[in-house]
A = this chain, B = another copy of it.
Amino acid sequence: MSLTTDESASSATPGSAGSRRADGTHRLTSMLAPRGIAIVGASDNSGWSRYTYANLIRGGYPHATHLVNRRGEPVHGQPVVTSLRDIGQPVDLAYVLTGPPSLPSVMADAAVAGVRNLVVIAAGFGEMGEEGHKREEQLAELARGYDQLILGPNNLGFINTPDSTMPWSQAMPWPMQSGGVGIMSQSGALGIFLLNYLQSRDVGISHLVTVGNEAMVTVAEGIDYLVEQEGTRVIALYLESVRHPDVFLAAAERAMKAGKPIVAYKAGRGALGAKVTAAHTGSLAGDDRVFDAVFRQHGIIRVDSIEDLVTTCGLLDAYGELPGTRVAFVTGSGAMCGVIGDSAEANGLELPEFAESTVEELRAVGLPEFATAQNPLDTTGYVVIDTNLLPNSEAVVSRDPNIDMLVVNGSVPATQEAATFMSRYFTRRVELSKVSPVPVISMEFLPSDQTPFSREFRRSEGAPYVVDSLTRGIPALAKAIWWSGLRRATRETTEAPAAGPAIAGVPGAGGEWSERQVGELLAANGVPVIPQRLVTSASEAASAGEQTGFPVALKISAPGLAHKTDSGGVVLGVGSAEAAAHAYEQIVTAVADAAPGTPIEGVLVSPMRAEGVDLLVGIVRDGTWGLTLVVGLGGIWVEVLADSAVRALPVTPGEVREMLTELKSFPLLTGSRGAEPVDLDELTRVIARIGAIAVALGDDVEELEINPLRAAGSSIEVLDALVRWRSAATDGAAEAGLPA
């Protein structure tokens, strides 16, 4: 399904230039910041209608709101028109509450009225199986014919805070807290809960867009739009699947360049979860590990809960890009330090020791002798007796030369009484955040809701945002630090990584290839392959063995024969010419018996190799993300432990190196237990090259598996390989993007 059908798209790049109009505005601007909205199907009996209208009004929508209702009687105390055709003013958006059967005529009316955007709330489409899918596809086709764009169907509308545009079809918490978090959600219902939760965490949003079934506008185009919005500093995603992966990744790249982190919660991590969301959305959730890999490769922060999504976005919105990796904590409780210590370790935070000067200054400001001057710092219960101890300690630590940021325990008073009690600390904290050489991040110990009082108080005091809790805040901090490191690297690296030599053309992709053909392809492109001689008689086998040097291995060469060993097609450790001749006959007979009719090309004679570490290097095609590289150690490691690393292709050598170090079995490559260490540079080069070959094979390849790739010291060599081509009826690479 392609959305790039509009001939006015000025560029082939989907999603980026292709989604911008001639006047430079994003195609979604007139949808999400419309000048003029018509609610179609407005009715006093409809909850959707009451909420949508009330929210538009209460949100201060600055343009005209029109109500459309076939019966023509006043609704919500306002006059109505009976058709979009009768409005007589420019309307950018038809917000359609009526059911599926009415949509064609609504769209026809919209076309006449020049309305190019529709939000369709009704369910009954892709989520309803085959028939619903068809109905949805027809809807999109119709819209494309009218040059219209549809958000939904099966969603709950959207909220655009900077533009005071809030056509949202459910209850929402007021006042709507404005802030830097732009949210794209594939679930509408989630939005209901999420808005309340965001408010209780004091996290303000720029946008909340529910995309429903994504008949036309998907999350990918939404990200693309949000990257451009000045008021959006962080992009939050609730995902069940990704429909336009190319647009998605291009938008993610633009987000990174713009310094706007993307934080994603994707349901369906477990197998059960995937089944459940599939039932819900009618979309097939991709394999979760590939999502992990792709997100990581593209700097997208993945979180494991809605709560973590909100905490991470709140932290990033408030504190932005962080200047380094070294964190100091100052608290007034040993129990907090215990929690911090455990969580910092679990999340890989770097907690450096304090400089000597800091330790001295801490004593000078009154840190008692029974307190240990370490990071995380427990200033002890003595803070109750010396009320300056905690703020003074925070100030001292903020100047420590070993740290890049300081985390302090803070909370915002929930009542006036608490505010009076805490005001001294609060004022000191605000002052510190102004003069500190490093960011000072406030984190609550345990979570508490932000009350209307606390939200107002924090703003009036100009106080920094308080992150939810240690339990949620520390993982969020670790993720923010990770993203900040990538962002720095992106800014500092302007060149693309050097490409390897070009890949030689592939003759005759498709059909069934023998191992020999795969070996030749690899060898021709810089991947060491064990030497092989193809022989077609017992006497040729004997002389090939002599040329190779005994002992040798003999292996059947037969395109399409998958289980060579099981079919009796392999004999190892053949020590003489006589034995080689005998092995040849044995193999050919065995394979003919085991797999009658298999076309036999001959037998491959190759040298026996020293023991080493055997790796599996596999490339498979993921339903969402395309060619994906899997690397693991062979045998039990992959089979019993599923010890493997995954990346979407293409990969850089740096990413391959990272994959190797991720393996639990990595120590086996570095010479644990007395083995010879493997040449990791060469191994990395070879695997990256295999990845590049797979990419060059492109749309034709379904699977490429090297098993084993034997690594023994500096010798890295393919011992066996197979390729599977896509069936003739390939579905092609989907192009996507919004019509301009």
Which residues of A are at the interface with B, using a C-beta cutoff of 8 A?
47, 123-124, 127-129, 132, 154, 187-190, 193-194, 196-197, 200, 238, 240, 267-277, 279-281, 304-307, 332-342, 344-346, 351, 369-370, 372, 374, 376, 378, 380-382, 384, 445-449, 469, 471, 635-636, 639-641, 664-665, 667-668, 672-673
B446 and A447 contacting across the interface, CB-CB below 8 Å: no
Interface of A is mostly: helix
Closest 10 CB pairs of A and B: A267-B338, A280-B334, A270-B345, A273-B341, A187-B335, A273-B342, A189-B333, A276-B341, A449-B449, A128-B370
Q: For A196, list chain B residues within 8 Å (CB).
A: 446, 448
Q: For A187, list chain B residues within 8 Å (CB).
A: 333-335
- A635 CA to B271 CA in the complex, in Å? 33
- A189 CA to B672 CA in the complex, in Å? 46
**Given A335-B187, A351-B272, A446-B197, A267–B341 Cβ distance below 8 Å?**
yes
A193 and B384 contacting across the interface, CB-CB below 8 Å: no
Q: For A279, list chain B residues within 8 Å (CB).
A: 334, 372, 374, 378
Task: Give me 7 other A-B pairs in contact (C-beta within 8 A), A193-B445, A268-B338 excluded.
Answer: A123-B370, A193-B333, A240-B338, A272-B344, A276-B340, A280-B338, A641-B664
**Given A123-B381, A197-B448, A370-B129, A341–B275 Cβ distance below 8 Å?**
yes
The residue of chain B having its C-beta at the shortest distance from the C-beta of A382 within the complex is B123
Q: How many copies does the complex hold?
A: 2
B270 and A342 contacting across the interface, CB-CB below 8 Å: yes
Q: Which of B336, B381, B636, B641 contacts A188 (CB 8 A)?
A: B381
The residue of chain B having its C-beta at the shortest distance from the C-beta of A156 within the complex is B381
Q: Which of B267, B332, B339, B340 contacts A335 (CB 8 A)?
A: B267
B338 and A273 contacting across the interface, CB-CB below 8 Å: yes
Q: For A370, list chain B residues within 8 Å (CB).
A: 123-124, 127-129, 132
- A363 CA to B190 CA in the complex, in Å? 24
A189 and B335 contacting across the interface, CB-CB below 8 Å: yes
A307 and B447 contacting across the interface, CB-CB below 8 Å: yes
Q: For A448, list chain B residues within 8 Å (CB).
A: 196-197, 200, 449
Q: For A635, list chain B residues within 8 Å (CB).
A: 673
Q: For A668, list chain B residues within 8 Å (CB).
A: 636, 640
Most B CB contacts (10 A, CB to CB) among A124, A338, A342 go to A338
Whole-angstrom distance between the Cβ of A104 and the nearest chain B Cβ: 21
The residue of chain B having its C-beta at the shortest distance from the C-beta of A332 within the complex is B189
B272 and A342 contacting across the interface, CB-CB below 8 Å: yes
**Given A280-B378, A307-B446, A307-B447, A639–B334 Cβ distance below 8 Å?**
no
Q: For A639, list chain B residues within 8 Å (CB).
A: 672-673
**Given A197-B448, A341-B275, A636–B672 Cβ distance below 8 Å?**
yes
Q: For A449, list chain B residues within 8 Å (CB).
A: 200, 448-449
Q: For A447, list chain B residues within 8 Å (CB).
A: 197, 307, 447
A345 and B277 contacting across the interface, CB-CB below 8 Å: no
**Given A338-B277, A341-B272, A305–B189 Cβ distance below 8 Å?**
no
